[in-house]
């Protein structure tokens, strides 16, 4: 049963990332009539929110866009930094959404930042324990994996409000600033950001399925011992 659930969540993840790249490719060809670049929109949004300590950078690679709260850097892939497409503006505004969350001490973002260290640790442990541990010491590996996947699941759960909120802010700001016009431009931008949101839902569901799998193994183990 769990195997089926895990396969289904994997398929959802594959579908979501395919949807992101196909929507992104399609709508990075649709130029926004405002003629603004991703970098210009990002600067405008930061200015409007009185955020002076965040710098905007371009980076090589496709969809490497992110906001780095520890260094207060807003990183846009070259295509989005220089691009004038509805996709570029959507992504740039979404990353600004995270900078605004950081400025406003938005609680889920604070939780997520606090959980990064332990989640990275769990992510390092999982493949090692999952392979060598399950082979040689399953009794010890199962509780370790249950805890590690539990940590990853909580992290992915906290990521959901952070991502949905950043996208909601992006949509509002893009319309308010006139960077994207209502109608076809807005709908296209919306499709890009909604597909990206789906990848986070898929990541959460797959972490949940993995956690449930090891939690049930652990329960079975306890029952055998009794
Ligand atoms: Zn985001």
Catalytic residue among 95, 163, 185, 226: 95
Q: How far does the centroid of ligand 1 lie from the alpha carbon of residue 188, in Å?
A: 18
The contacts of residue 82 (CB under 8 Å, 6+ apart) are 37, 38, 39, 58
Q: How far does the centroid of ligand 1 lie from the alpha carbon of residue 168, in Å?
A: 11
Handedness of CA 128, 134, 136, 139 (dihedral sign): positive
139 burial type by CB count under 10 A (0-12 exposed, 13-18 middle, 19+ buried): exposed
Render pLDDT for 159-190 as a digit per residue (tens, 0 to 9). Answer: 999 999 999 999 999 999 999 999 999 999 99
pLDDT at 23 over 90: yes
Strand partners for 66: 75
Helical spans, DSSP H, in the chain: 2-27, 38-48, 78-82, 86-103, 107-128, 134-136, 138-177, 184-225
Q: Which residues surround ligand 1, an ion (CB under 5 A)?
A: 163, 166
Statement: the pTM of the whole predicted model exceeds 0.85:
yes
Is 95 one of the annotated active-site residues of the chain?
Answer: yes
Q: How far does the centroid of ligand 1 lie from the alpha carbon of residue 226, in Å?
A: 46
Render pLDDT for 117-162 as a digit per residue (tens, 0 to 9). Answer: 999 999 999 999 988 888 888 888 999 999 999 999 999 999 999 9
Render pLDDT for 85-101 as a digit per residue (tens, 0 to 9). Answer: 999 999 999 999 999 99
Q: How many CB atoms lie within 10 A of CB 211?
A: 21
């Amino acid at each position: 049963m769990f195997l089926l659930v895990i396969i289904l969540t994997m398929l959802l993840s594959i579908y979501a990332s395919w949807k992101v790249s196909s929507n992104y490719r399609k709508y990075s060809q649709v130029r926004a009539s405002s003629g603004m670049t991703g970098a210009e929109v990002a600067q405008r949004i930061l200015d409007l929110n009185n955020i002076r300590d965040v710098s905007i950078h371009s980076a090589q690679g496709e969809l490497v866009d992110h906001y780095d709260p520890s260094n207060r850097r807003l990183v846009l892939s070259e295509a989005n930094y220089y691009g004038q497409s509805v996709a570029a503006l959507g992504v740039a505004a979404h990353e600004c959404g995270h900078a605004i969350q950081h400025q406003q001490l938005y609680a889920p973002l604070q939780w997520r930042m606090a959980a990064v260290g332990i989640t990275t640790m769990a992510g390092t442990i999982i493949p090692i324990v999952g392979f060598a541990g399950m082979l040689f010491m399953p009794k010890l590996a199962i509780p370790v994996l249950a805890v590690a996947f539990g940590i990853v699941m909580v992290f992915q759960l906290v990521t959901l409000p952070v991502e949905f909120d950043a996208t909601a802010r992006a949509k509002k700001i893009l319309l308010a600033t006139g960077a994207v016009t209502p109608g076809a431009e807005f709908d296209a931008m919306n499709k890009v950001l909604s597909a990206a949101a789906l990848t986070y839902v898929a990541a959460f569901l797959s972490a949940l399925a993995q956690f449930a799998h090891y939690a049930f193994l652990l329960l079975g183990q306890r029952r055998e011992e009794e």
